[in-house]
A = this chain, B = another copy of it.
Amino acid sequence: FATTPSTGGSAIGVGVDQELISSVPSHNPTFLARNFTDAEIVYCRAQPSPPSSFAARWVGKEAVFKSLGVKSKGAAAAMKDIEILNDELGIPTVRLHGEAKLKAEERGIGKVLISLSHSETVAVAFAQASS
């Protein structure tokens, strides 16, 4: 019997996104409430540079959408379906909710890895979706 290793890990999609930090309106409470979960807002507000952290998560969400093979709805509520929080080791980790979760299941995506980076002016993110 083949102990089918539950590794999975076949790459299904990748996503990259970047944005000027100054172009993400993180000072706007309505923008934040529509696009970030409460836990994300708490986390980003506690960081040394909240605008950089919000921008990094913003491009991270967009990168995840690309890796899922679905178009984001821009500033619509769907961005909230992608939640990026740091685990106990400080590694950014993706949790999917709502439609994004359904879409991932449909496509056989079991894991989405993410990495975020920001310089002084630009935030960039990379996401990889695999089975």
Q: Measuring CB to CB, which residues of chain A are less than 8 angstroms from any residue of chain B?
A: 1-5, 7-11, 13-20, 23, 63, 66-67, 69-71, 89-91, 111, 113-120, 122, 124-128, 130-131
Are the CB atoms of A124 and B11 closer together than 8 Å? no
Q: State in angstroms the CA–CA spacing of A125 and B3 once bound together.
A: 37
Known: A71-B90, A89-B69, A131-B7. A126 touches B14 (CB 8 A): yes
Known: A4-B5, A10-B9, A90-B71. A16 touches B113 (CB 8 A): no
- Taking CB as reference atom, which chain B residue is nearest A8? B10
Contact at A16–B125, with CB atoms within 8 Å? yes
A2-B3, A5-B4, A9-B11 as given contacts; A16 in contact with B131, CB under 8 Å? no
